Structure 1
Amino acid sequence: MTRPQSNLVQALRDVIRPLTGASNDYDALLDGVGEARFVLIGEASHGTHEFYRERARLTRRLIEERGFTAVAVEADWPDAYRVNRFVRGQGEDGSALEALADFGRFPKWMWRNEDVQHFVDWLRDHNGRRPGEEAGFYGLDLYSLHRSVREVITYLEAVDPEAAGRARKRYSCFEHFGENPQAYGYATEYGRQEPCEDAAVAQLLELQRREAELAQGPLGGDEHFFAEQNARLAKNAENYYRAMFRGRDESWNIRDRHMAETLEALVEHGEGQSRPQKIVVWAHNSHLGDARASEMGWRRGELNLGQLTRERWPEETYIVGLSTHHGTVTASDDWDEPARTKRVRPGLQGSLEDLCHEVGEPGFWLDLRGQNAATDALREERLQRFIGVIYRPETERWSHYVHTRPAEMYDALLHFDETSTVVPLDPDTGDAQDEVPDTYPAGL
C-alpha cells in the first residue's frame, strides 16, 4: 500500500544521518559494513563530482581503518593496471596524471578527472607508507578486446617467444576487421566468418595450464596474472561483441558476469599470495544495485555485478547507492561527442530523488538495513534515475528512469541534493572510439 509522501518524508527525517564534511560522517556506516569483504559504492551518473569525491573519501577510510586491499572499478583491465603499477611504486610513470594516460577512449572524463587523479595520488602515498600492505587498483570491464590481445602477446614475447607465436596465430582470427569488434560481431553472427571463440578459449587455457611454470619466470606472478586476465577478457569480449547482435539483455549479462569473474579472480590471486582480500568496487548504480530489485531484473531478465556478488558472498557484501535531485553533470549529447556541462533536471515527482529532496538536507546517508517506516516505504516500487555518459533531459523519463525497490537494491543510500560536474583532465574528451560498448547510447 502506497503511503502519503508527507508521511514518508517525516519518516526519513527521523532516521537520516546528515553529511557535513566532518571526519565522523561515515562512522556509523563503517559500523554497518562490519566484517563485509566487498563494499560496492555506486554512482547515479558518470560525471558528478560529489559522487567521485565521497566515494573516494569513504574508500580511503575502508583502506586505512578496515584493511581493504584493492579498488576495482568500472574500467578496462589494461588501462587500470597501469594505474595499479603506479600506486604500487612500479612502472615508469612519474605522476598520477601520467598513470591515467591509457584511459584514452570515450568517455575519457569518466576516469581522467581531478577527483580520480587526487585519489590515485593519495593511494600511491598510502602504499608508500605501508610496505607489504599495499592496496591495488584494477579494472573490471571488457571493452579492451584488441588492447588485451596485444598485452597477452607482449607478455609472452618476454617469457616464451614460441608461446607468443602460438598466441599471435590464434588471435589473428580477429585481424580481418582491424580494431572494430562490432564488425567482427556482425560478421560472425550473420555467418560471414567463423567465430574466434575456440582460439580465444585455447589461449586462455594455455596460460592457465602453464601458470605455475610461467609465474615463476622473470616477470613474476603479478605479471602472469595480468596476462591471464587479458586472455580471459579477450574470450569474454569475443562472446560479448557477438551477443550485441542478439539483444541488449544477453550482452549486458555477459558484461556483468565478466565483472564478477574478474572480482573472483582478484580474490583468488590475492589469497594465493597468502593475503586475504577485501575489495571496494566503484561502478554505476545500475551495475551495483541488486538487479533483482529493479525492472532490469524482473522485466528485462538482466542480472548485474551487485546481484552476483551478493549471491556469491551473501554475508560479506555491502552495497551503497548514490543519488542526486538536481544540479549539473559532465555528460555528452551523443556517443563520442565532447563532454559538456549539462543541467540535471529536478527529480520527477514521486521518484526516489524527489522523496530525498523533500527531506530538506543538502546531503545525508540512510541505513537501508534498518527496520523502520522509512525503509519499509523504500521496499516499495518507485522510479529511480540513472544517468550514464549520455544525458538526454528532453526524454528523461524514458531515457533515464527505471522502477526499483531501493531498500532491496542497496544496503545504504547517500543523497546529495544539488551536485556539480566532475572536472575532466582533458579540454576535449570526445576522441574517436573504436570499441563502442553495447550500452550506447546511455553508456551505463
Structure 2
Amino acid sequence: MPDDIARWLTEHARPLESLIPGAPTDDLEPLGVTLRGVRVVGLGESTHGTSEFFRLKHRIVEFLVREEGFTTLAMEASESAARAVDAYVRHGVGDPARLVARLGFWTWRTQEMVDLVEWLRSHNRDLPEERRVRFAGVDPQRGADSVEAVTAFLHAYAPEREEDARALEILVHARPGSRPDPEQALRHRAKEVARHLAAHDDADDDVVEHARILVRAADLVTRSLDQSVGEESAFAVRDRAMADAVARLVDDDPTARVMVWAHNGHLAKGTYGDGVTALGSRLRDLYGDRYYALALLFGKGSFLARRGDDLQAPPVRHRIGTGTRSIEARLADALKGDYYIDLRHTAPWLHTPQAQRSFGANVPRFFYRFNTAPLVPAKDYDGIAFVARSTCSHLLPQAGE
C-alpha cells in the first residue's frame, strides 16, 4: 500500500510552492480549474491551532476571490458577532483585532485571522458595494451582539416584554446542550420575540435578523448532548444550523460562491463522532458536485489546543511526530513537502478505510497523540492539502475566553 500511494502521488500531487499569503498563485491554478462550477468549497483543518493552516487558507481565499470570483467567506464562528466583522470588511467600521477577538472562540483570536480580515478589507476598499466580499458566521452559539440588539429594542419599544429580555440574556455565553429542555421553552420564547419584532414598524432588518439568530441559538442550547438521539442531538442540530446558514448565503444570490472555513470533521461529506451528520454531508445533499470538501492535514510539529475538558484555561502548545499508522504518516512518507491532491479518482487506496488525526479546540490531556477518526479519503473529502510541518498559531493578547 505505501508504494502504491507513493506512485500515485508522484503522478497526481501538485506541489504547493508557498504557504505565505500574497505569494504568486501559479501553483493554485489546478485547484482553480477543479473548482470551476463549484458553488461552495469547504476549507478544512485537522487542528484549530496551526499557523500554516491559517496562512495557506488565507492564500487560497485570496486566489479564489481574485481569480475565481468567490464572493463570501463563511466561518465556523459566531453568526451574531460575525455581522460586525462583515461591516468592517465591507465598510471599514470598527477595529479588526477587537472584532476578531469577539468571534466567539479562542481558536479565531489569532494574528493570522486578523491578517485575513485586513486583507478582505483592503480588497474591498475601492470596489463598488455589489462586488465586495462578504464575511459571515454560520454557528448560532455565542449570541452576545444579538442579545444586546434585541434586548435594547425591547427596552425601548416593548417594555412590557422585560421578562423576555431577561430570559434571552443566557444566550450570551450558553453552550450547545447546556440547558437541555425537551419542551424547548427558551426557543419558543425567542421565536415569539422574533415574530413580534418582524411585525413591529420600528424594527429594522438588522434587529429582526438578530432575533432570528437567537431563535437558532436557543434551539441549540436546549438540545441534549446525548448523541444517541440522532438528529435531535445538539451536535446534529449545530451542523444542520451551519448548513442552513451556508444555504441561505448561496440560495439568496444566484451569483454567490461561498468559501466555508471549518474543522475537517464538519466539512466531511459523511459523519463524525457517533454518527453525527456533518455540515459537509448536508451541503453535498443540497448541491451535489457543486460542493467541494478540501481537508487540510499535516505531517508533524506543534499546534495550540486546550488541555482536557477545561473551557477556561488558555490554549497551550502540543507536539506530535509523524507516527506510522495514520494517513498523515503515509502521505509524509510517500512524498516530501507541501502539496495538494484531488481525490476524485479511482485509485484503490483512496477508497480504503484509514485513520486521520483530528484535534479540536480541546484535546485529551495525556493521550491526544492517539486522537484519530476513521477516514475513507475519496468518500469523505474531494481534495487534501498536505502541510509537512505545523507550528502554533499566534494568539492575540488576552485570547482566553
TM range (shorter): 0.7 to 0.9
Pick from 213, 223, 241: which aligns with 1:233?
A: 213
Deviations 1:103-127 (A, max 9, x none): 4x5x42x212111111111111110
Flag the 1:266–1:173 CA change in 2: closer, same or farther, 3 A: same
1:153-192 aligned at under 5 Å gives the runs 153-154=151-152, 161-162=156-157, 164-165=158-159, 168-174=162-168, 181=174, 185-186=178-179, 188=181
Indicate the residue corresponding to 1:351 in structure 2. Answer: 326
| Superposition TM-score, scaled by structure 2 size | 0.88
Indicate the residue corresponding to 2:239 in structure 1. Answer: 256
1:38-437 aligned at under 5 Å gives the runs 38-91=40-93, 93=94, 95-103=95-103, 107-108=105-106, 110-132=107-129, 133-145=131-143, 147-154=145-152, 161-162=156-157, 164-165=158-159, 168-174=162-168, 181=174, 185-186=178-179, 188=181, 195-208=185-198, 224=205, 226-247=206-227, 250-269=233-252, 271=253, 276-292=255-271, 296=273, 300-334=274-308, 335=310, 336-347=312-323, 349-371=324-346, 373=347, 376-392=348-364, 394-396=366-368, 400-426=371-397, 428-431=398-401
| Superposition TM-score, scaled by structure 1 size | 0.80
Shift of 1:364: 0.5
Aligned residue identity for 2:341? L
Is this contact kept in 1: 2:80–2:144, CA < 8 A?
A: no
Identity %: 24
Flag the 1:183–1:166 CA change in 2: closer, same or farther, 3 A: farther
Indicate the residue corresponding to 1:435 in structure 2. Answer: none
Find the aligned partners of 2:168 and 2:35 in 1 and give their Cα distance: 44
CA RMSD of aligned residues (A): 2.7
Flag the 1:101–1:167 CA change in 2: closer, same or farther, 3 A: farther
Find the aligned partners of 1:259 and 1:251 in 2 and give their Cα distance: 12
Deviations 1:193-236 (A, max 9, x none): x72222122233344566xx67xx8x6xxxx2x43443233222
Find the aligned partners of 1:49 and 1:321 in 2 and give their Cα distance: 15
Deviations 1:158-203 (A, max 9, x none): xxx43x446644344356x6966369954745x9xx7222212223
Aligned residue identity for 2:345? G
Is this contact kept in 2: 1:171–1:199, CA < 8 A?
A: no
Aligned residue identity for 1:255? R
Find the aligned partners of 1:42 and 1:116 in 2 and give their Cα distance: 15
- After alignment, is 10-19 or 411-420 more displaced? 10-19
Find the aligned partners of 1:185 and 1:401 in 2 and give their Cα distance: 26
Is this contact kept in 1: 2:88–2:121, CA < 8 A?
A: yes
Find the aligned partners of 1:15 and 1:184 in 2 and give their Cα distance: 44
Pick from 15, 22, 28: which aligns with 2:12?
A: 15
Unaligned runs of 5+ in 1: 432-444
Q: How many equivalent residue pairs? A: 390
Find the aligned partners of 1:369 and 1:181 in 2 and give their Cα distance: 40
Find the aligned partners of 2:368 and 2:180 in 1 and give their Cα distance: 34
Flag the 1:8–1:229 CA change in 2: closer, same or farther, 3 A: same
Indicate the residue corresponding to 1:436 in structure 2. Answer: none
Deviations 1:402-432 (A, max 9, x none): 1111111111100011111111112x4334x
Shift of 1:83: 1.1
Is this contact kept in 1: 2:9–2:335, CA < 8 A?
A: no
Flag the 1:138–1:178 CA change in 2: closer, same or farther, 3 A: closer
Flag the 1:301–1:187 CA change in 2: closer, same or farther, 3 A: closer
Find the aligned partners of 2:382 and 2:135 in 1 and give their Cα distance: 24
Unaligned runs of 5+ in 2: 19-23
Shift of 1:9: 2.3
Flag the 1:96–1:179 CA change in 2: closer, same or farther, 3 A: closer
Deviations 1:144-163 (A, max 9, x none): 24542222233567xxx43x
2:366 alignment partner, SS class: helix
Find the aligned partners of 1:305 and 1:184 in 2 and give their Cα distance: 18
Flag the 1:178–1:64 CA change in 2: closer, same or farther, 3 A: closer
Shift of 1:268: 4.5
1:25 alignment partner, SS class: helix
Shift of 1:85: 0.6
Is this contact kept in 2: 1:82–1:102, CA < 8 A?
A: no
Is this contact kept in 1: 2:180–2:223, CA < 8 A?
A: no
